[in-house]
Chain A
Amino acid sequence: MAEPDEKSPLVKRRNSSEDEEELTGCGASAACDPRRALHRFLVLWLICFLSFGSYFCYDNPAALQSQIKKDMHVNTGTFMTLYSWYSWPNVILCFFGGFLLDRVFGIRLGTIIFSLFVLAGQCVFALGAQLNLFWLMEAGRFIFGIGGESLAVAQNTYAVTWFRGKELNMVFGLQLSFSRVGSTVNMNVMSPVYKWISGYVGEGYITLGYALWVGAGTCVLSLLCGLLLGYYDKRAARILKRDAGKTGEVIRITDVKDFPATFWLITVICVAYYVAVFPFIGLGLVFFEEKFDLNPTSANAVNSLVYIISAGASPVLGFLVDKTGKNVFWVILAILVTLACHMMLAFTFWNPYIAMSIMGVSYSLLACALWPIVAFIIPENQLGTAYGFMQSIQNLGLAVISIVAGSIVDQKGYLLLEVFFLAWLCLALIAGVVLYLVDAVRGGALNMSTWERDAQEEAEEKAKAAEQDERVRFKPRSAFALRNRFYSRIGAKLPDHFDIHTSSFFRRGVTQ
């Protein structure tokens, strides 16, 4: 540091490079230093595994469908309530989950609480099987649902905190593929596990219970990830002084109505796009068998193509979006491509492998590009609420549209169903185009390429620093200024080169 001269401030300005915490030991190595990329990627694993348990257990009933129906003596309709007890409450619950995350718990505590709910729900579910009480299993699914979706919201929020402005799109892609990995592992593992246990215990509800406790094991794993994440996040916040920039404002539930128009457009896209993909997959099997003359095995393969492809493609596409930016462009492109795929399925007899593969890629692209946009337009202290709200509306859309789609097929067939989905995609497209326009009017912040965004952020940082200088009421004065102030108080002559009038000009910057 240079010797202070006449014109340097007497009170030292806080300098970020000076009072940083000294890290020692492991903490100083790249793996544990939150400023380094390696540490971020280790945390990314924790973020991904955070939801592994909930995705694994979510599809436990599907993987053990025949066993549950046999052991618990229920028919398909009753069996399906295991899913409705999960999904219907989540139409509102994850909105409140997100809000609580922002307002009451904070992300670290919130994550742990939701993980506990997931774990508790799965335990009750397993207990219900072990005691041969189906209602207890349903209750377990309900508790599980309270935690599950809100945990996904927490996961999104964590991703934004750690990766905003860095590899956020890729992280969202990776989360998506991890959710697929979770349910795929479950589908392939649970049945053999049941078989293996039945070798010791014999078939029956007791075995079912034991098998479900394995699911609870994965929830414990996720809870551990939640605890570790909480620790590392706190540590990173301390070291990186994340809290320094915070205003201390808390979100109120009414703040939702003040979310910007762009947020609502994104929500519209989110609902309109997802309802054209998932309810379709739910009804796709018969469509592929009948229209394209596929046998049940290949029809099933085509139907699950979107899931499989999205598991592989989404991190790659997320990386692509990270490198290029222009999120809105990618979103519109994804919608257009999906529209083309649905048209292919509706109006041609071309091999459905083509359409479904392309749809898998475009779905991954949309998922990677759409969700991170929210982080650009919503302040960080409201992100949980925003994501929760989006997810709630999406859940509602999916639940309602699945029912509507089912009755359309029953009454009017698959062509009209496809037309119905095309209409939703058109709505998504309209919302996408309007989003682009609205954003363009406001300067195109959402559709910037990555280098433009970097440049802007740099400029903003500078402007912010300047503004902060402006805001500080008591500016540290230089020795020269203090002396002059004192001189003017006592009525002494000011130095010739300090003229009050010219200095006010300086202040306005007119003479420069």
Chain B
Amino acid sequence: MTCSNLKHHVKEKMAASRQARRLYTCLSRFSCALFVFASLAVGKESFSRQVSMHYNPGCNITECQSSPSNDNDTHNNLVHILARGSRDSIHYVWSTIGAPTVLMVHTTSKESELKVDWEKLLTTNGDNSGAITFEPSNEVDFSMAVMFNKIWEYEDLHDKSELPEDDTEMFEPYDLSQMRWGDFNLTMNTTGLTGNFTGATTQSDMESLFQNGSISFRIHAFKTDDRSADLPHLQYTSNQTQFDFTIDSVEPRGNMSRYAMELMLLTEDKHLDLKKMKSIDDEYTPGVFELFELTMTHSDQTDSYVQWKPVCYTKSTRSMAVATPTKTYKLKDLDTTSIPADTIARAYFTNLDRLQRKALNVSFGLTGDGSYVASNFTSWTASVGYGEPPSERLSLLIIIVISTGLGIPVVIIMFGGLFICCRQKDGDKGKKEIMDEYPTVNGGETDAIN
């Protein structure tokens, strides 16, 4: 039967009853409305930005040239991602100078520029404050920084997957300000807007643990709005950059080693809030029903966010089979003294005391997954962005499947009930008639024969 035939057939059947037809039109209207709604939802954010990526912009001193001769030295990587809109622009500055840091600055001018005083930034023995500025400076309306400071490692002997409260119960942490970072320029893709910061520790006694291993941040900016192709399929917009944080083949120091990362946040005069959002929908990230958001709000309007799902992956090809949960711990206040010395956050923010300062730990793995030792690989994804964080909603597929799947039985039960009612009335009538017409047929026939 062809499709049109089938349709015709279905229609014919439906036309059999007026009620059915009314219901049918109602249903088709409903699905039409659904489609309109869905296309609205998709079409809503057609606005996008001009996004570009630059490596060490405007640097002409030797410290920031990539040269194969000083391979053992750390590279001074600074990546500028610029997202220009029609009325404003967002600057992301990712850098491994000092410690891995991302600085986000929003300006109300679409022509604002990043200015880096490289001499000042790279003089290691002094105050780099004021080395990074944005012009025109009076157009800057919002800025924040996220720093990645320490990697904790602890021995989870009883497989409780709980980060110890006390530092003394852990191994000496990897200090990300004491890392040797590779050249970002080699991995940078200015059309795909991606690139890797890869590093190994230079801490004494711990260097050997990084013989084949590395810690890396893969950053990714976007020109459009969509969902990333890889798990956990976070939503992205041109207002944000995503990063995958990976600990690969680092030799664990315990038999049940687990890692955790410390994030630090700096922002001006804003309300910093950690939210855990629960959803019944895990269609984009199978098995994950939560979404964490660290939001910085000012007078009820969200200005920026860090967003992540509580899941990390234990193989480089991500799938649900290699997923293991992450745990997020409470926001804590942060001393100015614990902020890494040479980070670009210090170069931009001139008065750290006036800032909102918070720190947060995220640990990787959960009871029963065999800890880091089982796979020697952990990778976790988050995004840093400007504006309202993208919110999750049910996909059209789910809505359609649910409405048809649950609609059909309801219809069938209704009609079935109707049918039974009608039939029982008819049946009662019919029975009575039969009873009246015929007397009992069989009687004492055996007597008659005998």
- Number of A residues near B (Cβ < 8 Å) is 46
The reply to whether the CB of B288 lies closer than 8 angstroms to some CB of chain A is yes
Known: A419-B401, A437-B416, A507-B449. A414 touches B286 (CB 8 A): yes
- Closest CB in chain A relative to B401 CB, distance in Å: 5
- Closest CB in chain B relative to A480 CB, distance in Å: 8
The reply to whether the CB of B285 lies closer than 8 angstroms to some CB of chain A is yes
- Closest CB in chain B relative to A461 CB, distance in Å: 15
Known: A349-B278, A436-B416. A413 touches B283 (CB 8 A): yes
How far is A64 from B406 in the complex, measured between Cα atoms in Å? Answer: 42
The reply to whether the CB of B68 lies closer than 8 angstroms to some CB of chain A is no
Are B420 and A437 in touch, CB under 8 angstroms?
A: yes
Are B448 and A422 in touch, CB under 8 angstroms?
A: no
Are A512 and B443 in touch, CB under 8 angstroms?
A: yes
The reply to whether the CB of B192 lies closer than 8 angstroms to some CB of chain A is no
Per a CB cutoff under 8 Å, which of A287, A419, A430, A507 touches B402? Answer: A419
Are A415 and B282 in touch, CB under 8 angstroms?
A: yes
Are B367 and A295 in touch, CB under 8 angstroms?
A: yes
- Closest CB in chain A relative to B28 CB, distance in Å: 20
Are B443 and A509 in touch, CB under 8 angstroms?
A: yes
Chain B positions 382-406 with a Cβ under 8 Å from a chain A Cβ: 397-398, 401-402, 405-406
Residues of A within 8 A of B282 (CB): 290-291, 413-415
- Closest CB in chain B relative to A79 CB, distance in Å: 16
Chain B positions 340-355 with a Cβ under 8 Å from a chain A Cβ: none
- Closest CB in chain B relative to A14 CB, distance in Å: 16
The reply to whether the CB of B447 lies closer than 8 angstroms to some CB of chain A is yes
Are A423 and B405 in touch, CB under 8 angstroms?
A: yes
Most buried by A among B280, B285, B319: B280
Interface of A is mostly: helix
Residues of A within 8 A of B320 (CB): 409-410
Known: A409-B287, A481-B450, A506-B447. A429 touches B280 (CB 8 A): no
- Closest CB in chain A relative to B416 CB, distance in Å: 5
The reply to whether the CB of A478 lies closer than 8 angstroms to some CB of chain B is yes
Known: A419-B401, A430-B409, A437-B416. A412 touches B286 (CB 8 A): yes
Are B286 and A348 in touch, CB under 8 angstroms?
A: no
Known: A296-B367, A430-B408, A503-B448. A290 touches B321 (CB 8 A): no
The reply to whether the CB of B423 lies closer than 8 angstroms to some CB of chain A is yes
Chain B positions 273-292 with a Cβ under 8 Å from a chain A Cβ: 278, 280-289
Are A509 and B423 in touch, CB under 8 angstroms?
A: no
Residue of A nearest to B420 (CB): A440
Known: A475-B449, A507-B445. A291 touches B405 (CB 8 A): no
How far is A426 from B448 in the complex, measured between Cα atoms in Å? Answer: 58
Are A512 and B444 in touch, CB under 8 angstroms?
A: yes
Are A416 and B398 in touch, CB under 8 angstroms?
A: yes
The reply to whether the CB of B434 lies closer than 8 angstroms to some CB of chain A is no
How far is A480 from B448 in the complex, measured between Cα atoms in Å? Answer: 12
Per a CB cutoff under 8 Å, which of A295, A349, A409, A508 touches B280? Answer: A349
Are B283 and A346 in touch, CB under 8 angstroms?
A: no
Known: A290-B325, A477-B450, A506-B447. A346 touches B280 (CB 8 A): yes
9 pairs from A and B in contact (CB 8 Å cutoff): A290-B325, A291-B282, A413-B287, A416-B397, A422-B406, A433-B412, A436-B416, A509-B448, A512-B443
The 4 closest A-B pairs by CB, nearest first: A506-B448, A413-B282, A413-B286, A509-B443
What residues of chain B have their CB less than 8 Å away from a CB belonging to chain A?
Answer: 278, 280-289, 319-321, 325, 366-368, 397-398, 401-402, 405-406, 408-409, 412-413, 416, 419-420, 423, 441-450
Given known contacts A414-B289, A422-B405, what 8 new A-B pairs fall within 8 Å (CB)?
A410-B286, A412-B283, A413-B281, A415-B282, A422-B402, A429-B413, A506-B448, A507-B448
What residues of chain A have their CB less than 8 Å away from a CB belonging to chain B?
Answer: 7, 9, 286-287, 289-291, 295-296, 346-349, 409-416, 419, 422-423, 426, 429-430, 433-434, 436-437, 440-441, 466, 469, 475, 477-478, 480-481, 503, 506-509, 512
